[in-house]
Structure 1
Amino acid sequence: MAKRLNDNNSIGDVLKEFIGANRLQPGIDKIEVRDAWKNLMGNGVNNYTSEIMLKNGTLYVALTSAVLREELSYGKEKIVKMINEDLGREVVKEVILR
């Protein structure tokens, strides 16, 4: 049976404990990184993005434009920094553009 928390806990604390106890954070991270990419890159890049996948701290992004892939490859560190700032913690350590 689940342990009972006292009545003074906030909903945020209870949700954090639930997420941690059920090991849901990696799945939530995948969704948040996908949303952060879409919000930060804008429609121009999103039109050429076919797949976004987070695996072991590495963000894999499949692009349909070789020109865009080359252009974004120059700013990989900036992309990592922007996504991590948007999420408020370090989730992405590297970006691989395909």
Structure 2
Amino acid sequence: MLRPRYNTDKSLNSRKADIQPLKESLQALVNAYKLQGKLNEVTIVESWEKIMGRAIALKTQQLYFRDGKLFVRLTSAPLKHELTMAKTKVIELINAEVGVQAIKEVVFL
């Protein structure tokens, strides 16, 4: 008659001490590979319409980043002027969406 084998090894129980939540593991991975900046940029591009509204998103031609600056190419000169006047508010809205100081300056083209 065959008996079932039970592993009485104590090392299996010590593995539970190494278990951490998936969120913490992913955050550690992002930090290790220094990906947080790029993830913030992707978040900003993906939520541009939510942050600025549909009317501005429709007149936005291109978004790109360089050295902590967000460059926004617009198709409307009057809109460009309005947003230039409200630059600090735009920066606050974007950084509030991301949750960190991701952008230091916005340049409207």
Match of 1:62 among 63, 73, 79: 73
Q: 1:93 aligned to 78, 85, 104, which one? A: 104
Quote the Cα distance in structure 1 between the aligned partners of 2:42 and 2:83: 21
Aligned to 2:33: 22
State TM-score, norm by structure 2. 0.79
What is the 5 A alignment of 1:46-61?
Answer: 46-61=57-72
Residues 34-74 of structure 1: CA distance to partner in whole angstroms, max 9, x if unpaired?
A: 12322111110111101111222111000011111011111
1:43 matched residue in structure 2:
54
1:77 is aligned to: 88
Rounded to whole Å, the distance in 2 between the matches of 1:34 and 1:15 is 21
Stretches of structure 1 that go unaligned for 5 or more consecutive residues are none
The number of residues matched between the two structures is 94
SS in 2 for 1:23: coil
| CA RMSD across the alignment | 1.7
TM value normalised by structure 1: 0.87
